[in-house]
Amino acid sequence: MKHLKKLVLGCLLSLPGVAFGQQVPLINQYFTQPTLAYPSAAVFQDKAQLSLLYRGQWSGVDGAPQVFSLSFANPFKQKLGYNVNVNSFESGLLRQTNVGAGLAKAWVLNEHRISIGAEVGLSLFSLDDSRVSVESMDDELIRNLLGSNGSSASLNLSLSYQYKGLQVNAAVPNVLNESLSDDEYVQLSDNNNADYLVGVGYQFSLDQMGDITFTPNITWRYQELIGSAFDVLALFEWQRKFQLMAAYRDGYGLNAGVGVRLKPNILFTYNYDFGKKEAPILSNGFNEVGLHFSLNKKASVDKDEALSQEASRIIGQLEAQEIYDKKLIATEDQETVVNYYSSLHSGSKKERRAKGEADFDSLLEDIKQKGLERMRAEARARAEAAKADEEVEEAAPTPAPVVTEEPEPVEEPTETSAAMGRYILVVAAYNPGSEYAKVLVEKLRELYPRAGIYSNELRGYDYVYVLQFGDRAEAISTMLELRSSGDFTDGWVHVIKK
């Protein structure tokens, strides 16, 4: 056992480059909690997340390396985010605890998002005197550190970029790493972190395989003592519930992992490092366990759900009754839909409001165009039917004179059409009994006292008209004048047979 302790100590103190391989990076930093390495990534998360992580090697062996981490990241106010990391690392004689807090700021340009982040940290160091053997006292470094504690301050800067499924992260963890106690511990701390990190990942949707996403990731690490190293990883997720992970990392070898959502907001992950044959005692046997909690305020969820449901109801009503004039839509309903659309966008409050209003205008324009297409289709159908009737009439033999004539088919007059002229200028059409039609008529009567509703029972619509005519030419002339003036650009003349 003493020889094993000396071996572990030698790996940590005599070969600090290898110590880097023992301590970081945790496999969870690549996918589940990137703020372990990149404080700028906090602003890109969908919601707050708390992660509890444990990583250990050689279970049951006294002095074996182990890491405990607590990480919290939270986006807020659309363009800001913060994170807090607490890491405890023990291996052989060495104990190190690091507490860090970071802040991130994002900028949005269309669908491109970029953020910068900074994290300040405080590290505390000590040696476990109970594990110091007599043989260890021959090491000058151990003698210098024994009986004293150390501390250092650090600064980590990072940059993140996101576009659709692409995310790029880059960090410089050792921008600042200054001793606060003027001892040799700070050198160990510096050697336990990469000098540069750059990671690139892209999430693909494999819908043809049944709601599966595939996210490859490649990360470049550089540390002065060991040089460059590359990590190649892949994550498969099925129905946002089950995960499979695979990786090959320089200095570690192969890694495999699984993940499962115990609840919608609780994710459990497990990873195992198989190590490298040329250095099995230094890199294999790692078990990493993670428990990740997605935090979301229940009140906020309920409020968002209520807004979504109410907006969907209003949008469905507008589409069903083909309402595209804001004058006919209650102010409260307009605000509900605009607020809903705004909630789907990122940016400042003013930017989200502008985007929400633009989406609402697009909705009304779409409803208008669909209504026009329907009316044009009806007009074409009426024209084709009239043409067919004329062709049949021309082809039919001249009937013999009769004393009485059968009246031509007519639309049964309703209460609203009994006293009307033969032609009406229609400006809108609604489903029978629509309240919007009544509201529109009341507004129109301020300028057109004879405005009203004509119930076309054959077509199944209520037509809102502004004028009545007994002469066809006069009706068409008036319609063209109103169209050219911009008052009723979509108006048309409807013929009422009597």
Torsion of CA 474, 477, 482, 485, to 10 degrees: -140
Residues 163 and 187 both lie in one domain: yes
* DSSP codes joined into one string, 406-435: PPPP-PPP-TTTTT--SEEEEEEEE-TT-H
The Cα 126–Cα 467 span in angstroms is 93
Is residue 396 one of the residues assigned to a domain?
no
Residues 285 and 201 both lie in one domain: yes
Q: Which among 26, 73, 15 is positioned nearest to 289, based on CA atoms?
A: 26
Q: What's the pLDDT score for residue 398? A: 46
Helix, strand counts (H, E) of the chain: 10, 19
Residues 280 and 335 both lie in one domain: no
Is residue 403 one of the residues assigned to a domain?
no
Residues 80 and 166 both lie in one domain: yes
* Residues in CB range of 269: below 8 A, 6 or more apart: 28, 32, 243, 245, 257, 258, 259, 288, 289, 290, 291, 292
Cα–Cα–Cα angle for 230, 272, 256, nearest 5°? 65
CATH at residue 490: 3.30.70
Residues 452 and 313 both lie in one domain: no
The Cα 205–Cα 339 span in angstroms is 29
Residues 270 and 315 both lie in one domain: no
Is residue 387 one of the residues assigned to a domain?
no
Q: What's the pLDDT score for residue 406? A: 33
Q: What's the pLDDT score for residue 267? A: 96
Given a contact cutoff of 8 angstroms between Cβ atoms, the answer to whether 177 and 152 are in contact is: yes
The Cα 165–Cα 216 span in angstroms is 11
* Residues in CB range of 313: below 8 A, 6 or more apart: none
Given a contact cutoff of 8 angstroms between Cβ atoms, the answer to whether 71 and 108 are in contact is: no
Residues 50 and 178 both lie in one domain: yes
Residue 106, CA distances (Å) to 102, 167, 374, 420 in order: 14, 14, 45, 64
The Cα 404–Cα 398 span in angstroms is 16
Q: Which domain holds residue 362?
A: 299-381
Is residue 107 one of the residues assigned to a domain?
yes
Is residue 392 one of the residues assigned to a domain?
no
Residues 330 and 283 both lie in one domain: no
Is residue 115 one of the residues assigned to a domain?
yes
Q: What is the pTM of this model?
A: 0.56
Q: What's the pLDDT score for residue 402? A: 36
Q: What's the pLDDT score for residue 479? A: 87
Which of 260, 277, 296 delimits the end of a domain?
296
Query: In Å, how far from its chain's centre is CA 466?
Result: 48
Sort 360 into a burial class: Cβ within 10 Å, 0-12 / 13-18 / 19+: buried
The Cα 21–Cα 284 span in angstroms is 11
Q: What's the pLDDT score for residue 257? A: 96
Provide the β-strand partners of residue 70. Answer: 52, 86
Which of 277, 296, 315 delimits the end of a domain?
296
Q: What's the pLDDT score for residue 288? A: 92
Residues 319 and 421 both lie in one domain: no
CATH at residue 196: 2.40.160.40
Residues 489 and 442 both lie in one domain: yes
Q: Please name the residue that has the structure tokens 């507008």.
A: 318
* Residues in CB range of 474: below 8 A, 6 or more apart: none
Residues 289 and 305 both lie in one domain: no
Three-state SS string over 327-383 comes to HHCCHHHHHHHHHHHHHCCCCCHHHHHHHHHHHHHHHHHHHHHHHHHHHHHHHHHHH
How many domains is the chain partitioned into structurally? Answer: 3
pLDDT tens digits for 4-36?
333 344 444 333 333 333 445 788 999 999 999
Chunked into runs of 10 residues, the chain (498 residues) has average pLDDT values of 39 35 70 94 91 80 79 89 92 82 91 93 80 58 68 92 93 86 64 84 76 92 87 92 93 90 93 72 73 73 73 87 80 90 81 90 89 75 68 49 36 43 84 83 88 80 88 86 82 76
Is residue 38 one of the residues assigned to a domain?
yes
The Cα 265–Cα 310 span in angstroms is 25
Q: What's the pLDDT score for residue 409? A: 36
Which of 278, 296, 314 delimits the end of a domain?
296
The Cα 183–Cα 164 span in angstroms is 47
Is residue 390 one of the residues assigned to a domain?
no
Residues 24 and 168 both lie in one domain: yes
The size of the chain, in residues, is 498
